[in-house]
Chains A and B, each alone.
Chain A
Amino acid sequence: MSGAKALGWRLLPQIVALVAILLLIWLSFPGFFTVEMQNGRLYGSLIDVMNRGAPVALLAVGMTLVIATRGIDLSVGAVMAICGAVAASSSVRGDPLVVTLAMSLGIGLLCGLWNGVLVAFLNIQPIVATLVLMVAGRGIAQLITEGAILTFNDPGLIFIGSGSVFGLPMPVVLWLVFGIAVALIVRRTALGLMIEATGVNRRAAMLSGIQAPAFLMSAYMLSGLCAALAGLVVTADIRGADANNAGLWLELDAILAVVVGGNSLLGGRFSIIASLIGAMIIQSVNTGILLSGFPPEFNLIIKAAIIVLILLIQSPRMSHLAAFAKPAGPAAPAVGMQKDKTIERTAP
């Protein structure tokens, strides 16, 4: 009872932001909410947002857990390229679909294992540890594709990018099912609690008997798996593996989705559902700018402005101001304000 209510409050800012953006787009593009059924498949701008947002949504699932451990995974874009290249080359070789998928997902897990070992056992700072694979990953992908764009025409693999299930595009089904499944697993077991505890205070968690390294590893491996899935979606969509451009800069969008989802980069409390909504907010902004016919050179700047606005609304200081504005409401605790004050002792 209280759990569902708490989740509702937690997701409120993200839902409000998403609805506001969708309404804004609708104002400048009235056909935005039209969804049509053609040949047993749904078509429309809204479906398009969900479909185009699939790679970032998938990445955001793993990134949320990594960030909850007070880490970050910069390598996911490069891992997408590697896994896409692996899938394409396997398909070109004529391997059965199962083998192709298993290899691609396995390589994703392996990449996560590498990051996890660097972070959990060698205690390398996550931003540096994953930077290694971010840089090396594209090189590895290029080696696999031998510098060319590997195209394939295995209908099974292509289905992942452009097929549809129950009228929804396959990528949408993938991120919805996978995201909700991970969210359920994490919350129905104690995995979420263990990851949060590790993220907030690794030493105290260790002293309470939590195997912090194991949970760190699992977070990075999940992130690798998510990157593999996203890589498959992107590769299947264009029916070819592009080692140079697949997943390029998507690690940043994934981090942004997690942050827009209201998760702290300092680790601890997290919500996968909120990150998924965050991913949809980002994609809505992208699609919305295109649809509303702004000159394309404005796109990135408008996107940045909208995101700054969303982050501003979520910031502790704003909720503090909001609490002042209406003193009757449940005010935010005053602790957040104190944090930065202690350092400001440097004036004359």
Chain B
Amino acid sequence: MASSAVLTATGIVKTFPGARALDGVDFELRRGEVHALLGENGAGKSTLIKCLTGAYRRDGGRVELDGVPIDPRDPLDAQKLGIGTVYQEVNLLPNLSVAENLFLGRQPRRFGLVAPGEMNRRARALLAGYDMDIDVSAPLASYSVAVQQVIAIARAVDLSGKVLILDEPTASLDAQEVRMLFRIVRDLQAKGLGIVFITHFFEQVYAISDRITVLRNGRLVGTRETAQLPRKDLVTMMLGHELHATEKAADTHVENAGPVRYAFHGLGKTGKIKPFDLEIRQGEVVGMAGLLGSGRTETAELLFGVETADSGTCEREGERLSLASPRAAIARGFGFCPEDRKVDGIIGDLSVRENIALALQARRGWMRPLSRKEQDALADRYIKALDIRTTDREKPIRLLSGGNQQKAILARWLATNPEFLILDEPTRGIDVGAHAEIIRLIESLCAQGMSLLVISSELDELVAYSHRVIVLRDREHVAELVGGDVTTENIVEAIAGQDRRRAS
């Protein structure tokens, strides 16, 4: 059994200034297995991967590939040894063609010049192995993220061929794309590759992995056979304690929300989202469901003034509002946590403190600065209240894990004391613990009388906290589910098109 191991790491230690990121971690990957690597953000998953691929030099421990000790200097070196990695953000060049991406740096040549015909032929042959028949001379950017992901895998496998590390490959894929990716992973598994799979989705862990290794706080918690590990035990392994139930009992969906606070009539923008009506009550959570590209984010951006509507009106308690810009929306008590945290949310180089104080400061105007003392107090209050894990408030926010960045952006809005908070995928790509905390936060904000609009792909989650769920399809609001009708099944039906009732 042990001889089937392709990659063995023993006692890996990695120390960063002020923190021991990995403390004697063991990890074994067998030939032809899919091995899920799990842990909360900050548990050490990425650090372990980076030590294996040479992106970091380990400070202690042993790594063996096929029984031979290795010490890759950098990812390129690891690739030559046989360890390929595909990251969540596809690390290829979008403006080059698919074939060029596949053969970059090793293009077939004729008389010293690149032979495009030969290269395209080989690229087609390579992708045929993945059941992909696409135009390999088209630029990579013209394909979906899922296809790009497959191309990245094809390149990594072609270059390396022993071990494939997939770092959150499914984070931005829809269900069908995930199935396609899994089919490819199973093919590669059958060919004898050892595959390390990192994800936050439990469903996927159980769907594809043979074994699971869990890390917590830089230490190994254990490695188990997936089939013999109940989910509850897995959660306990990851968190070290029982997770509080995130699902609310269905009978709490009573209409306890207050009067209508915001009313939007016929709001729309050509090419973005068809005109829609939307009412939001005080102390109400309105969920918004739909596939990627169904117009969820576009709706949020119209409401927040990021995009200007070309039709429709907005009213707050009967008074007309003009939402020409985020600034105008913020002045009216709106807040917006965008979907793409890294691009639209965090100001990476600025400190946690500055990121938290930013929206409040922007609303006050530059002439009326928050004193350093006020900023410190504000940051400390929210770091404590939301349990933002950072060594101190002056740390640049880009160094925090995803879940903690998300909490800091929530803090940025809570600091402005908003009446209406729009959350676009608040729990995407963050760990289980932070996930549960954010859901609890949504519920408690709502109980305090805040109005929330929450966009999410996680239907269970939507069902748990929404009073109403709006379903979108093809850039149109197609259904509204209220009270007892808010079930995962109904949402899926509405998304799929069997809408039982149209929006009123």
Residues of A at the B interface (CB closer than 8 Å) are 3, 188-191, 193-194, 196-197, 200-201, 203-211, 215, 268-269, 323, 330-331, 333-335, 338, 341-342, 344-348
B110 in contact (CB, < 8 A): no
User: A346-B104, A348-B106 are contacts. A203–B361 as well, Cβ < 8 Å?
Assistant: no
Least Cβ–Cβ distance between B86 and chain A, in angstroms: 11
By the criterion CB–CB under 8 Å, are B344 and A203 in contact?
Answer: yes
**Which of B17, B91, B344 is A204 in contact with, Cβ under 8 Å?**
B344
Least Cβ–Cβ distance between B107 and chain A, in angstroms: 10
**Which of A188, A335, A342 is B369 in contact with, Cβ under 8 Å?**
A188
Complex Cα distance, B358 from A344, in Å, reads 36
Complex Cα distance, B349 from A335, in Å, reads 12
Complex Cα distance, B357 from A75, in Å, reads 35
Q: Contacts of B304 on A, CB cut-off 8 Å?
A: 207
By the criterion CB–CB under 8 Å, are A204 and B326 in contact?
Answer: no
Q: Contacts of A338 on B, CB cut-off 8 Å?
A: 55
User: A201-B346, A338-B55 are contacts. A333–B17 as well, Cβ < 8 Å?
Assistant: yes
B348 in contact (CB, < 8 A): yes
User: A209-B326, A211-B327 are contacts. A341–B74 as well, Cβ < 8 Å?
Assistant: yes
B16 in contact (CB, < 8 A): yes
Q: Contacts of B175 on A, CB cut-off 8 Å?
A: none
- Top 8 A-B pairs, shortest CB-CB distance: A346-B105, A209-B362, A209-B330, A190-B369, A190-B366, A268-B349, A331-B17, A208-B359
Query: Looking across the interface, which residue of chain A has its beta carbon closest to that of B341?
Result: A204
**Which of B106, B350, B412 is A268 in contact with, Cβ under 8 Å?**
B350
By the criterion CB–CB under 8 Å, are A200 and B75 in contact?
Answer: no
User: A204-B344, A204-B345, A333-B399 are contacts. A345–B91 as well, Cβ < 8 Å?
Assistant: yes
Q: Contacts of B344 on A, CB cut-off 8 Å?
A: 203-204, 207
Most buried by A among B348, B349, B363: B349
By the criterion CB–CB under 8 Å, are A208 and B358 in contact?
Answer: yes
Least Cβ–Cβ distance between B431 and chain A, in angstroms: 20
A-B contact pairs, 11 of them (CB 8 A): A190-B367, A193-B358, A196-B347, A200-B347, A201-B346, A203-B343, A203-B344, A205-B358, A206-B326, A207-B304, A330-B17
B295 in contact (CB, < 8 A): no
Other 8 A-B pairs with CB < 8 A, given A189-B367, A345-B91: A189-B369, A194-B366, A196-B347, A208-B358, A210-B358, A341-B74, A345-B75, A348-B105
Most buried by B among A193, A203, A333: A193
By the criterion CB–CB under 8 Å, are B56 and A334 in contact?
Answer: yes
B184 in contact (CB, < 8 A): no
By the criterion CB–CB under 8 Å, are B105 and A347 in contact?
Answer: yes
By the criterion CB–CB under 8 Å, are A347 and B76 in contact?
Answer: yes
Query: Looking across the interface, which residue of chain B has its beta carbon closest to that of A218?
Result: B366
Query: Looking across the interface, which residue of chain A has its beta carbon closest to that of B107?
Result: A348
Q: Contacts of B368 on A, CB cut-off 8 Å?
A: 190
**Which of B75, B346, B349, B370 is A190 in contact with, Cβ under 8 Å?**
B370
Q: Contacts of B357 on A, CB cut-off 8 Å?
A: 193
By the criterion CB–CB under 8 Å, are B354 and A193 in contact?
Answer: yes
Q: Contacts of B16 on A, CB cut-off 8 Å?
A: 333-334
By the criterion CB–CB under 8 Å, are A3 and B372 in contact?
Answer: yes
Least Cβ–Cβ distance between A342 and chain B, in angstroms: 6
**Which of B74, B91, B347, B364 is A205 in contact with, Cβ under 8 Å?**
B347
Q: Contacts of B465 on A, CB cut-off 8 Å?
A: none
Q: Contacts of A205 on B, CB cut-off 8 Å?
A: 347, 358, 362
Most buried by B among A191, A203, A209, A335: A209
B306 in contact (CB, < 8 A): yes
B336 in contact (CB, < 8 A): yes
Name B310-355 residues within 8 Å CB distance of A: 326-327, 330-331, 336, 338, 343-350, 354
By the criterion CB–CB under 8 Å, are B349 and A207 in contact?
Answer: no
Q: Contacts of B364 on A, CB cut-off 8 Å?
A: 190
Complex Cα distance, B106 from A347, in Å, reads 7
By the criterion CB–CB under 8 Å, are A204 and B56 in contact?
Answer: no
B66-95 interface bits toward A, Cβ cutoff 8 Å, 1 = contact, 0 = none? 000000001110010000000000010000
By the criterion CB–CB under 8 Å, are A197 and B347 in contact?
Answer: yes
**Which of B336, B361, B369 is A207 in contact with, Cβ under 8 Å?**
B336
